[in-house]
Every structure is written in structure tokens, then in C-alpha cells.
A and B are shown apart, each in its own frame.
Chain A
Amino acid sequence: MFDYARAAVEAALAAGATYADARVVIRRQERIAAHNGEVESVTHAEDAGVGVRALIGSSWGFAATGELTDVAAKKAGAEATATAKASALVPGAAIELADVPVAQDVYETPHAENPFDVPLGDKVDLVVGVTRTMSEVEGIAVATAHLGFWDTDKWFVSSQGHRIHQHLVEAGGGMDATAVGESETQRRSYPQSFGHYETGGYEVIRRFDLPGNAARIAEEAVQLLSAPDCPAGEMDLVLESSQLALQIHESVGHAIELDRILGWEAAFAGTSFLDLEQLGSLQYGSELMNITADATIPGALATFGYDDEGTPARAVDIVREGTWVGVLSGRDTAHLAGLEPGGMVRADGFNRLPMVRMTNVGLKPGEGSLDEIIADTRRGVYLATNRSWSIDDRRLNFQFGCEIGWEIVDGKLGRMVKNPTYTGITPRFWASLDRLAGEDEWVPWGVPNCGKGQPMQVGHTGHPASPGRFTNVRVGVKG
């Protein structure tokens, strides 16, 4: 496969590119879904092809073909350069690449049990079984469960001498139960909305213990129908760690993407409230806020050996004791900003142009436990599991909904409440972080459905977090 990538790069250079790289990608996916005790779908997909980037002046040209032949690879290389040349009609300042080590290496995701080797019947039995358990709870109208696996080989070659083969294995899944009332629906899911994913093998699924949680979440969904609405007003907000993970994703992860900060995603994904002149001085949050982007965390979903530019995985400090100190970057954006490249450029498949994507953007743990945080809270709510998420194009004004909540009164969990929402403005919200649970409750949550780019690409991101408390947050926004 290296030969196809090399052929594409050489063709791009021969056509006039000043730099070129190519990825041959073969990706296998398996998805198994069940619905109300029956198999809903068993899907296998495989895509394979070569994508080549060519740099001339101020623009990347990119071409992809699903035909893995020497001829097609060369043609794609030449087309990438021709496409970049056409950009000269609307030129900007020349793009340059920050230096990175030129690697020739092999990397493989650690995994104990390749999910594609597990008998299909076992996987089907698992999801069918848990949906049956959920369906048997009176009041549940819809119970679904799914498993998803990716097995990806990438061969990367650059005109600077990179030659890297990576084999990435990812696994995950989840389940949910929906109770339907007269004029509303209530849903509970586990381990988190849309499933939880990690790098690793089938051992990830075994650890979830889906059967042990099926009846519980179904019963909670039914209970929610008759629960009171979440109280409205300003109060202390305790977030369970998977919701805090999404809070990090939306109000930190996207905001620190350097391509957004530079305006390169302005029309679609949006920009950022962050200004590079504030790097090193802006107060992003309270002193408890320590965020890193770390592509080396074992098992986290955005863990790899090298990004799609051949930059080695590493950890980058983003927020240190509340101060903004780092960004997510690639070689071009880092050079433009005068920063070290972060190794955070990835593409969703062979036929997509790589772009800045989150790695494992997570919140370092604090001290104590969720129980201690609740015991320390006089009046507030504890909210769990994301239900909806929305944030403005500069990543300031957010509103999240959760599946479930409980009132906290005098240090104890009180009534279950439904339709909980909370809203805020990013720096003000993070400044109100005053408690953060410790390492024992720190989970490397994986988000498998991050959308960005045009056409929309799906990225896999990781967000380690433990439960935390935020003070005086506006809760209970209603439509």
C-alpha cells in the first residue's frame, strides 16, 4: 500500500506541488443494532482508497479515488496539484508547514480481543438480550442497543520522507429505553447518549456490563414520565462525568481549534471567542480547570500513534489552573500562529481532506468523590447523561439538556426531575467550577459523532472527565 501512496505523492510533486502527502486507508466497520428484542440491522462496510494533498502557495489541493491502482493513484496526485493551482485565482499568503520529526514507523492500537474475531452470534445475542430486558419493563415503548467497531489501516507517505503504517482498532456501543407518555417522551441511555467508544478491542464492551444496567435505565425512563419538571432558577449544578465530557467538547474543544480561531471554518462550523493575543493570559475558568489535549491516553477514543500529517501523538496543555495556554493545531495552522504543531489533524476516511480535530481533550481530575460533592451542596441539581446540546458559532452561549436530574437539598439527593436544562456563557461558566471529583471517577469518555468541515466529516474524540460542580448556574430553561 505504501507504493500507491508514494506514487500519488510523486505525481503531485511532478505536477508542481511544493509539498505533498498521501494516505491509503482501508477501513472496516461493523454495526449491530437491536430494537425491542429483535435484530434491527447487521451492517458491514468497507471503504478503501487513496487521498492525496498537494500544497501550492496559499492553498491545499486534495484529490481522492476509491480505485487502488498505480494509475489511479498517480492521476489523483496530478489532480490534487492541478486543483491547488486553480486556487491561485483567489490567493492568500503562502502556507508553510511547521517542522515535525520525519518518522518511519508502525503503530498499532493496544487491544486484547479484536472485535471482528468475536462470533457475530455473541454480539447479536448481547444487544438483543438487553433490548428484551428493557422492553419487559412496563411503560417502555422503544428499547434499542447497538455495538460499533472500526478496524482501520492507514499507510502515510509524505514528500518529506514520512512512511508510517498505523492499525487502529476502536470499539463501543450503548443502549437506550424510551417511555412514551400522552404528550412527551422520556429516554434513558447507557453508558452515555449515542454510546461510549474507546480504542481497544471487545474487552471494552465486556467492561460496560450492558445487561447489568438495562433494567435500571428502563425503569428510570418510565419514572421520568411522572417526575416533576426540573426547577428553574440560578443554583449549584453538579454534572455527571459524561455530561461534563460533552461540556468540555463543545465549550472548550471546538473553541481551541486553531483553524477556527484563524477563521478558516468561519462560514460553517464558526469561529471562536478566543483571540491568539490572549494566549497565556486569558482566564478561561477557575483554578480547578486544567485541560489537556492528549493523544497518548491508553484506551481513549482519540488515541493514535501519529496524526494524518505524520506528526507524533503527544500531550498539549490547553488550560493550566484556569489560564488558556494551548490550542489544537496542525502543521500549517501552527506555523501561521508561530506555535509548536500539536499533531491534531485527522480525516474521516481516505476521501476527506484532513483538518484540525480534537484529540483527547479532557479535564484533569480533582479530589474527593461525587458523593462528597453532593454532601457539600446545600441547594442545587445533579444532572446526568446528555439529551441535547447547542452552542453559538463563537462557542460562548450554550444550552444543554440532560436525560435525568435529581434535586440536591441540604447535601442529599432529593426528587428525580425531568427535562433538565442549563445554560451559560463559556468563561463565566468555567469560572464557577468549584469542585471536581478525583481520579477514581475519571472516565475517558469517547464521542464518536463530532461533526465538522464541509462536506461534514465525523470525527472520533475523547474527553476524560470526573464529576464536577458549578455554582450559580441558570437551570430549567423552558420552551
Chain B
Amino acid sequence: MTTDEHPVRDLTDLQALADRVVELVRTSPRAQHATVEANVLVGRTRHGLTRFANSFVHQHVGEDTVSVALTLAVDGRTATAATTDTRDDALRSLIASTLDSASLQPVDPHWPGATPPAPVTREGNFDAATADARPEERAERVKAFVDADRDLRAAGYLDTEATWAAFASTAGQRVVGRTSRATVDGIHQTGSSAGSAHQTSQRLTELDAAAAGALAADRGRRSAEFVDVDPGIYEVVLGPEAVATILTFLGVYGFNAKMHLEGGSYAKIGEQQLDAQLTILEDPDDPRSVALPFDNEGTPRRTYPLVEAGVTRNLAHDRRTARRAGTQTTGSAVPGGAGFGAVPTTMRLVAGTPPAEQLVADVGRGLLVTQFHYCRVLDPKTLVVTGLTRNGTFLVEDGEVVGAVGNLRFTQSFVQALAQGQVAAIGNDDRYADAEFGPGAVIAPSLRLKAWNFTGGARG
């Protein structure tokens, strides 16, 4: 299915659909005797996914879906609804039932009103060729990843995704945006080990699947013979994927303004909570960005510091938490945010100057960790997290990788691990990294930390 064949094709169609929903809200008979406000987000997602395992493509998927998300307030009483049925009758019915739902509620004390006008200055980074990528184009690149080492077993995925979105509100906000993304993420397995590699770009053509496959195979082969090391505190060099996982937890539990308002975040604005080498930005303006130019509430995204030279500077707000905190939204609203809060979605840890190899070369005895796995919070306030290493963990002695080690479990406060004096160096190899929760949200370099608490081995 090409983009031209879809009934809702492009930004113009989506804007018209968003406007139509606003109009239907305004003219609904149920809305005539009350003050009715509405936020309408219309999105189209086109996703192509080529999954492979045991060195062949076993699942191959195409999806093209338009959705409408609606937030209504009737005299300050709110309800939300979503549908994939964009026919007029279905939309009228949805609006009527949502108005009914809202009318039955008590007044929502945190309703900030419909989103007011605020222009976005860009449309988003978008590549039409990626949006229209054919399954054969994905499969060719998967072949390159697999062929990088035919003696090993390859598994992973290569996908292309395009998102078009339009937002309209009864308060007059009207914005559109689009973005595209392509990712290759996979492993090469020996009988006893695996190595991984990841690339994300706005453009499918920028993915070098053969190089990713070669890197994964190299890591997998170097891990085939491994020894177990004793649990304990080790100096570590963390690859970008592992760093991206840390940043994701900082974002979700630390910079989340709702969590902060409720006393569950470690963040203290203006305090030196992390190492002075660390600057973390919410950065939709990064030229590599694959984010829409506005958030779930239609607020333009903007770049701002979350942590500046180790000092916590800002939190991620949506309009609800901004109202509660007496500040401005940062354009960080996400679906479900009324319950969970706002989180940064385009985080970037500012890179350092040394290459990743130098980080390893400066380690006396420690571990090189390429990837974390199954991380879960034990206490959100101190950000104590447990998880494991995966797909390539190596012992470093006197600046050299001397061999692979078996996977290890850690239990570690992420805040303490990044505290002042704990960061030895930041690499210059920043790139989109695939935290365990998905690609395209965090740009991270390698990081050398002085202490990481490993609490057990993973040998069966």
C-alpha cells in the first residue's frame, strides 16, 4: 500500500480531519448548553517490520493505521477517547459518548484548558523514501546483516516507520508534523554467546546493516569463550545502549514532573546531584532527531537542559503538571500522561571528547558492558535498579580487553553511579541507542564510571 492509496494520505488530510473533529465537537447538540473545550490529535502511522531469527526472515509485517485521540472538557469535567474509525458517523458517536462521559464527572481540578495557539517552527525530519520503503528493501539489508557472518546465527529486526500527525484545539492551536525512522537491531549468536549492534536513522539509506552485522558478529565471537567473575563493585565502561537505559530511567522516574510533585523523584532543582561532566538535554532540535515537532497536547517541543554540568535544572512538564507547579509546559506530554506524568522523549547526553577506545584504555581493572537487560526499579526515589548484562560483557585489565565474562546481575542506584566524582570520562561516540524500551528516544555516548555494583552471576 503506498501513501497515495490511503484515504487519509498526508498532513493536509490529517489537518482537515483534526479540524473536522473540532467542528463536530462545537456543533454537537450536547455541546450547546455548556462550555466545551477539546484537544484533538490525529495520527497516521505506517510501519514496516522485517524480523529475522536463526538467520532467516520469519516474520514480515506491514501496518497502516489512522487514529484519532480526543480530550474533551465540559464545564471543566474531562474525558478522553480514541478510535481508529475515522468515518463521520463514528466520530459523531465517539464525540457524543465522550461528552456524556465528561458531563458525569466531577470538575477536574487540574484541567489546564484546551491548548492555546503556539506555532511550531518546523515540520519534523522526514524522508519519503523511508516512509515508502518496500519489504524487499528491508529484506536486502537484513540479508547484509545476516551475511556478515554466515557461520553464526543472526536474529533481530529492521524496521521503517513514518508518522504524520495533526493537532487542533478549540482554543485555536493548529499544528502538523511528520517524522520518519529506520532501525536495524540484531545479534549474532555462537553456541554459547551473542553480540549485538544497533543503528537508528531518519533515513533507511543511512543504515549500514552489513557493518552492524559485522560488529554484532565480532562481539558474539569474542564472547564465545567466557569466564565468570565474582560479583562485586567494578569500574565499568558502558556502551551507548547501556547508557541509554540509564537515561531512560532518569527521564521516566527522575525528570517526570508528576513524580516530582508527588515526592517520588530524586530530582532537586538547582542542586549538584550528578557529576559536573554530565549535561543532559531534552533536544528535539538535534539534527538527528526522529521526533514530531510537538507533543501529545499539541505544544511545540523545545530544547532545554535537564541537567547542566551536573546541576539539575529542569523537569519535563505537560500542561497539567505545569499548572500544578505554576510553571510552563516543556512540551513533554505523552499518551497516558494524566496518570503517569510527562517524560522527556528526545534526551541527549552531551558527548565528551575521547573515543570509546580511550575509555577502555584508561581502565585498570573493570568491565566493558555493551547492553543491559530487564532493568526494573526497586525504589524510584533513589533510583535503585536491578538488571543484567547481555550480548557482550568483557573484562578489562590494564587498558586491554582480556576476555569475555558471563552475564552478571547488578543492583545499583543510578543516581549514585552518576554522582559527582563518579564519572571518569564521557566518550565522543554519541548516537541513537536502543535502550531496552525501544529505539529513537535517546542519544547517548559511552560512559566510564568508577563503580558499579554487580550482585550475582547468571550462570544456570
Contact = CB atoms under 8 A, between A and B. Distances in A.
Contact of A83 (B61, B262, B411): B61
Contact of B146 (A90, A389, A454): A90
B62 A180 contact: no
B98 interface: yes
A47 interface: yes
B411 A45 contact: no
A142 B58 CA distance: 46
B369 to A, nearest CB: 14
A431 to B, nearest CB: 13
A160 B183 CA distance: 36
A141 B138 CA distance: 50
The DSSP consensus for interface residues of chain A is mixed
B106 A267 contact: no
A286 to B, nearest CB: 17
Contacts of B185: 267
Interface in B156-172: 156-157, 159
B460 A390 contact: no
Interface residues of A, number: 88
Interface in B213-239: none
B399 interface: no
Interface stretch (A54-62, A205-213, A461-469): A54-62
Given A39-B106, A142-B262, A63 B142 contact: no
A38 interface: yes
Contacts of A180: 262-264, 381
Interface in A402-416: none
A99 B290 CA distance: 45
Given A183-B381, A393-B390, A87 B57 contact: yes
Given A388-B386, A478-B411, A266 B81 contact: no
B56 A90 contact: yes
Contacts of A68: 85
B54 A264 contact: yes
A401 B63 CA distance: 38
Given A45-B83, A64-B64, A86 B7 contact: no
B384 A64 contact: no
Interface stretch (A15-23, A305-313, A322-330, A422-430): A422-430
Given A63-B62, A390-B386, A427 B460 contact: yes
Interface stretch (B21-29, B273-281, B360-368, B449-457): B449-457
Given A45-B82, A178-B264, A265 B53 contact: yes
Contacts of A89: 57, 136, 139-140, 142-143
B157 A454 contact: yes
Contact of A456 (B187, B196, B376, B438): B438
B156 to A, nearest CB: 4
Contacts of B189: 263, 266
Nearest to A179: B263
Given A82-B135, A390-B386, A392-B390, A44 B458 contact: no
B357 interface: no
A40 interface: yes
A314 interface: no
B286 to A, nearest CB: 23
Contacts of A387: 378
Contacts of A38: 106, 108-109
B80 A393 contact: no
Interface in A26-83: 33, 35, 38-49, 58-68, 75-76, 79-80, 82-83
A268 B57 CA distance: 15
Contacts of A60: 58-60
A281 to B, nearest CB: 16
Nearest to A181: B381
A184 interface: yes
B378 A266 contact: no
Given A60-B60, A61-B60, A183-B382, A392 B84 contact: no
Contacts of A128: 106
Contacts of A58: 56-58
A180 B143 CA distance: 52
B379 A185 contact: yes
A1 interface: no
B105 A42 contact: yes
A124 interface: yes
B301 interface: no
A267 B157 contact: yes
Contacts of B58: 58-60, 87, 92, 95, 264
Interface stretch (B10-18, B44-52, B302-310, B344-352): B44-52
A44 B81 contact: yes
Interface in B328-382: 338-339, 373-382
B155 A479 contact: no
Contacts of A399: 386, 409, 411, 455-456
Interface in A160-199: 178, 180, 183-185
Nearest to B371: A393
B5 A63 contact: no
A280 interface: no
Interface string A434-474: 00000000000000000000111000000000000000000
A121 interface: yes
A41 B338 contact: yes
Given A42-B101, A42-B105, A351-B63, A184 B386 contact: no
A83 B84 contact: no
A377 interface: no
A178 B259 CA distance: 12
Q: Point out which of B57, B136, B456, B458 has the most chain A C-beta atoms below 10 A from its C-beta.
A: B57
Q: 8 tightest CB-CB pairs across the interface, nearest first?
A: A92-B56, A86-B135, A180-B263, A87-B57, A397-B458, A479-B411, A66-B84, A266-B155
24 contacts: A59-B60, A62-B62, A63-B63, A82-B135, A83-B135, A86-B60, A86-B136, A87-B58, A87-B135, A89-B139, A89-B142, A120-B104, A121-B104, A141-B262, A183-B382, A184-B382, A263-B53, A268-B156, A268-B157, A390-B375, A392-B373, A393-B374, A455-B47, A477-B386
Given A46-B82, A390-B387, A479-B384, 5 more contacts: A86-B60, A87-B58, A397-B459, A399-B409, A455-B438
Interface of A: 33, 35, 38-49, 58-68, 75-76, 79-80, 82-84, 86-87, 89-93, 95, 120-121, 124, 128, 141-142, 144, 146, 178, 180, 183-185, 262-268, 270, 273, 351, 353, 387-394, 396-397, 399, 401, 419, 421, 423, 425-427, 454-456, 477-479
